[in-house]
């Protein structure tokens, strides 16, 4: 069974249609990369999947279950943002545990989840620090750690590395790939970076104006782009 299915998923803001209707099937454990120009609807799609934005029509199914009317917290989806979105006045430990405390999870379970996430992301030594005492790369690790603590079925990453310098991006890219190998979850990853798309993806989805131009394994798109638009993103080195 596909872990995530989008069926004619639509989004309009007032009279402006941003996503006219997207159909997509993502298999359990797949690492899928969304690419496309700024404003084409990548974040809107992720936000609808996460339940942070209401769909204007169509369906979203996770493990066969329709979730379009399910609250964000109950979808089994966790999102990592470009801007980290950490609580500035809380320690790293608190940033990781806060959401779990809010839903009344037992303390021992929280401690075990925080410990595991900290170990996976090598932030065990940073747990008592405040976000302002962290580098950009460390902040992004904490943001990913927070998603892991929620133990979601699906991870969504919205340009998580855009704020990092080139060297750190390469490092984090490799780490996220390793994380995917260790956890085995379905992950959707939005990026502007062709190298990230080519190296990380099981499947690349190229979007233009809220429409999927082409979707497939990186080498298929690279070798057989359907049109010059896809070639511009994936097919030809820029
Ligand atoms: P991307 O992430 O691909 O850059 P977005 O999903 O952020 O694109 O935006 C897609 C389009 O939807 C853009 O034209 C953007 O201006 C519009 N948009 C996004 N959010 C809103 C909103 N809350 N209200 C109105 N328009 C929006
Ligand atoms: Mg965006």
CA–CA distances in Å: residue 227 to residues 38, 169, 221, 235: 19, 29, 10, 9
At residue 104, the 3 state secondary structure works out as: coil
- The residues with which 216 forms a beta bridge, in sequence order, are 204
Rounded to two decimals, what is the model's pTM?
0.94
Query: Is residue 187 lining ligand 1, measured as CB closer than 6 Å?
Result: no
Q: Give residue-wise pLDDT tens across range 9-36.
A: 999 999 999 999 999 999 999 999 999 9
At residue 204, the 3 state secondary structure works out as: strand
Query: Is residue 54 lining ligand 1, measured as CB closer than 6 Å?
Result: no
Query: Is residue 41 lining ligand 1, measured as CB closer than 6 Å?
Result: yes
Q: What is the mean pLDDT of the chain?
A: 94
Position in ligand 1 atom list of the atom nearest CA 36: 3
Q: Give residue-wise pLDDT tens across range 61-97.
A: 999 999 999 999 999 999 998 877 899 999 999 999 9
Q: What is the ipTM of this complex?
A: 0.98
């Amino acid at each position: 069974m596909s872990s995530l299915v989008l069926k004619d998923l639509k989004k309009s803001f007032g009279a402006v249609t941003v996503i006219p209707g997207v159909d997509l099937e993502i298999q359990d454990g797949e690492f899928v990369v969304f690419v496309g120009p700024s404003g084409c609807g990548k974040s809107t799609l992720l936000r609808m999947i996460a339940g942070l934005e209401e769909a204007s029509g169509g369906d979203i199914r996770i493990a066969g279950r329709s979730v379009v009317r399910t609250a964000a917290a109950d979808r089994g989806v966790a999102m990592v943002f470009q801007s980290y979105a950490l609580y500035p006045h809380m320690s790293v430990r608190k940033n990781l545990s806060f959401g779990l405390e809010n839903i009344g999870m037992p303390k021992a379970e929280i401690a075990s989840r925080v410990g595991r996430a900290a170990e996976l992301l090598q932030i065990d030594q940073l747990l008592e620090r405040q976000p302002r005492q962290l580098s950009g790369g460390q902040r992004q690790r904490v943001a990913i750690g927070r998603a892991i603590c929620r133990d979601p079925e699906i991870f969504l990453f919205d340009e998580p590395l855009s704020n990092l310098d080139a060297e750190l991006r390469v490092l984090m890219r490799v780490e996220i790939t390793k994380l995917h190998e260790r956890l085995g979850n379905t992950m959707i990853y939005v990026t502007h970076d062709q190298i990230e798309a080519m190296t990380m993806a099981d499947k690349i989805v190229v979007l233009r104006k809220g429409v999927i131009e082409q979707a497939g394994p990186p080498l298929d798109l690279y070798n057989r782009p359907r049109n010059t638009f896809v070639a511009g993103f994936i097919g030809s080195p820029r």
